[in-house]
Amino acid sequence: MQRDHIHGRFIHVDFLAVRRDEKLHLSIPVRIVGESVGVKAGGVVEHHLWELEVESLPGDVPEAIDADITSLEIGMSLRVSDLVAPKGATILTDPEESVVAVQQPQMAVEIEEEEALAAAEALEAAEGEGAEGEAAEGEGGGEGAEGSDGRSEG
């Protein structure tokens, strides 16, 4: 269906003849239901698949397919195979596809990486200072000996 956006009049409408005894192949939206345990712990919901391919009779076409995420923890995902098909409908989308995942927020991952990098740099610096201190003591003792030898000769 197309409408004229300015005047609101119909420009074009397509009508389809549907038989009650023939199954339809449709795209049905996925609706997220519940609040994830992982989200409560600081995770973020990543919605990967917004629609599912479904086959059903015209009288059994679902409005949406619910994806219950209440049991998802951080790092877990919900696949198509985990969803329950509505009565009279068959989900045709690949069962291994991820629908929803709960992940640790990207900002938290970046902060952890920065902290790990800073800790590694601090450790390297501490090791480097220990090695430089030993080298400086060895060099200082050698220079002092050469200087005293130079004075006694001169």
pLDDT tens readout for residues 74-106:
989 999 999 998 888 999 999 999 999 999 887
Range with lowest mean pLDDT among 1-5, 41-45, 111-115, 140-144: 140-144
Residues whose CB is less than 8 angstroms from the CB of residue 67 and which lie 6 or more positions away in sequence, other chains included = 30, 31, 32, 33, 78, 83, 99, 100
pLDDT tens, residue by residue, 123-132: 777 776 665 5
55 has pLDDT over 90: yes
Annotated domain spans of the chain: 19-104, 105-140
What fold is seen in the domain 19-104? Answer: RNA Polymerase Alpha Subunit; Chain A, domain 2 (2.170.120)
State pLDDT tens for residues 9-50: 988 888 877 788 888 899 999 999 998 888 888 889 899 999
Q: Is pLDDT of 143 > 50?
A: no
The whole-number pLDDT of residue 144 equals 47
Strands (E) in 1-153, as ranges, are 2-3, 10-12, 24-33, 44-47, 51-56, 65-68, 77-79, 89-91, 98-103
pLDDT of residue 52: 93
DSSP classification of residue 97: S
pLDDT band for 108, please (50, 70, 90 cuts): low
The values of phi and psi at residue 34, to 5°, are 90, 175
Measured distance CA(56)–CA(89) in Å, rounded: 5
Residue pair 95/80 in contact (Cβ under 8 Å)? The answer is yes
